[in-house]
């Protein structure tokens, strides 16, 4: 507690009072999903409207449910964000972040698309990534109907959603499918070796998401124990040998977050690859601090930083 930002201490106590199940096996994962509280209510008008749709999946994969927020042609084409929720690859719901995405759409006068990707271990890699890529490709292909400027499409995600956003940016680059203007990676889950073959100091990763959860999450996604010598191609962003050609990037993480080291290393590699990159390490902050204590000064500064990067990426003139 002495290392925590004082404004975050009460929030940390709430999280510590609800530890991850032990053991975190498949039965426990299913129980966590069933025990999740009802999602927050969708914001009423004048907040941007939410339209639920089923879109085609990637080849050989099932259809994907998405929530399209604030769509519609205005006088000019507008930017878009594909948002990917978190949950360690094993839990979490699109519905949990829809109100926040409505606020994002309103603040930036943009269109936000939430993707309800399949969870692991029921769906292993590349299933969740393919769901996200199908949603991204759908936004790009239907840009005219949605009112989206194809030159201003960004991806954003938190935790496992940030890891999937990073995977998606790499896949879009390698497949030459959708040109992204930005990736906003909020304490992203990037490296399966954290907690397995790479341990962290005992004061890091103790609040929120820990080493045990990380090993289970990655093992569930990969279909093999986390930290193995080889992993499926494209599954672990931190293991990708080439980061060149990726879009402008923001990475933000707390200094007490389990992911702080892997996120710092990834940011350094992006810089060395010539990618415009901003890294923010928030002192005394734990995993998910900005959601738990959004009004803390450190949380406000954190949100202001990633929003600044997104605004810069969206500042280009819209396509005709």
Question: What tens digit of pLDDT does each residue of 245-277 get?
Answer: 999 999 999 999 999 999 999 999 999 999 999
At residue 72 the predicted structure's pLDDT band, cuts being 50, 70 and 90, is confident
Mean pLDDT in residue range 159-163: 98
Catalytically annotated residue among 5, 287, 290, 299: 287
Mean pLDDT in residue range 87-102: 98
Residue 72 or 43, more confident? 43
Residue 316 is predicted with a pLDDT of: 67
Residue 317 is predicted with a pLDDT of: 56
Catalytically annotated residue among 116, 149, 257, 290: 257
Q: What are the tokens at 217?
A: 């999450």
**C-alpha separations of 251 from 58, 146, 151, 186 in Å:** 28, 28, 21, 6
pLDDT at 318 over 70: no
Mark whether 255 is an active-site residue. no
Mean pLDDT of the chain: 97
Percent over 90 (pLDDT), the chain: 97
At residue 320 the predicted structure's pLDDT band, cuts being 50, 70 and 90, is very low
- Residues with Cβ within 8 Å of 243's Cβ and at least 6 positions away in sequence, in order, are 170, 266, 269, 270, 273, 275
pLDDT at 190 over 60: yes
Enter the pTM of the model.
Answer: 0.97
Residue among 207, 209, 233 nearest 222 (CA): 233
**C-alpha separations of 167 from 170, 174, 191, 263, 267 in Å:** 5, 11, 11, 14, 14
pLDDT at 240 over 70: yes
Dihedral sign, Cα of residue 290, residue 91, residue 105, residue 144: positive
Mark whether 83 is an active-site residue. no
Judge contact between 248 and 309, C-beta under 8 A.
yes
At residue 55 the predicted structure's pLDDT band, cuts being 50, 70 and 90, is very high
Mark whether 174 is an active-site residue. no
- Residues with Cβ within 8 Å of 44's Cβ and at least 6 positions away in sequence, in order, are none
At residue 88 the predicted structure's pLDDT band, cuts being 50, 70 and 90, is very high
Phi-psi region at 205: left, alpha or beta (left = phi > 0; alpha = psi -120 to 50): left
User: Please, which residues bridge with residue 68 across strands?
Assistant: 51, 113
Could you give the dihedral angle defined by the CA atoms of residues 16, 191, 220 and 199, in that order, rounded to the nearest 10 degrees?
A: -50
Mean pLDDT in residue range 91-120: 98
Mean pLDDT in residue range 14-25: 95
Mean pLDDT in residue range 209-227: 98
Catalytically annotated residue among 159, 219, 282, 299: 159
Residue among 133, 193, 197, 218 nearest 167 (CA): 133
Question: What tens digit of pLDDT does each residue of 31-47 get?
Answer: 999 999 999 999 999 99
pLDDT at 319 over 90: no
Mean pLDDT in residue range 111-123: 98
Mean pLDDT in residue range 183-187: 99
């Amino acid at each position: 507690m002495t290392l925590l930002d004082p404004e975050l201490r009460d929030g940390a106590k709430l999280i510590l009072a609800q530890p991850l199940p032990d053991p975190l096996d498949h039965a426990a994962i299913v129980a966590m999903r069933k025990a999740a509280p009802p999602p927050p209510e969708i914001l009423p008008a004048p907040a941007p409207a939410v339209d639920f749709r089923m879109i085609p999946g990637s080849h050989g994969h099932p259809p994907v449910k998405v929530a399209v927020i604030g769509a519609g042609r205005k006088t000019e084409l507008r930017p878009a964000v594909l948002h990917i929720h978190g949950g360690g690859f094993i839990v979490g719901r699109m519905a949990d972040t829809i109100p926040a995405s409505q606020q994002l759409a309103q603040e930036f006068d943009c269109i936000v698309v939430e993707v309800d990707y399949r969870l692991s271990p029921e769906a292993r890699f590349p299933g969740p990534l393919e769901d996200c890529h199908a949603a991204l490709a759908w936004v790009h292909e239907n840009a005219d109907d949605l009112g989206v400027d194809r030159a201003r499409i960004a991806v954003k995600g938190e935790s496992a959603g940030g890891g999937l956003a990073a995977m998606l940016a790499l896949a879009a680059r390698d497949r030459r499918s959708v040109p992204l203007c930005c990736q906003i990676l909020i304490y992203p889950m990037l490296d399966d070796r954290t907690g397995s073959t790479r341990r962290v100091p005992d004061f890091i990763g103790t609040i929120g998401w820990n080493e045990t959860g990380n090993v289970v999450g990655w093992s569930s996604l990969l279909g093999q124990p986390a930290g193995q010598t080889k992993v499926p191609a494209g599954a672990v962003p931190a293991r990708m040998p080439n980061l060149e050609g990726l879009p402008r990037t923001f990475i933000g993480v707390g200094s007490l977050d389990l992911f702080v080291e892997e996120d710092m290393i990834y940011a350094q590699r992006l810089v060395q690859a010539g990618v415009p990159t901003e890294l923010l390490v928030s002192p005394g902050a734990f995993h998910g601090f900005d959601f738990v204590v959004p009004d803390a000064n450190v949380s406000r500064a954190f949100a202001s930083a990633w929003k600044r990067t997104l605004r810069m990426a969206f500042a280009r003139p819209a396509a005709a």
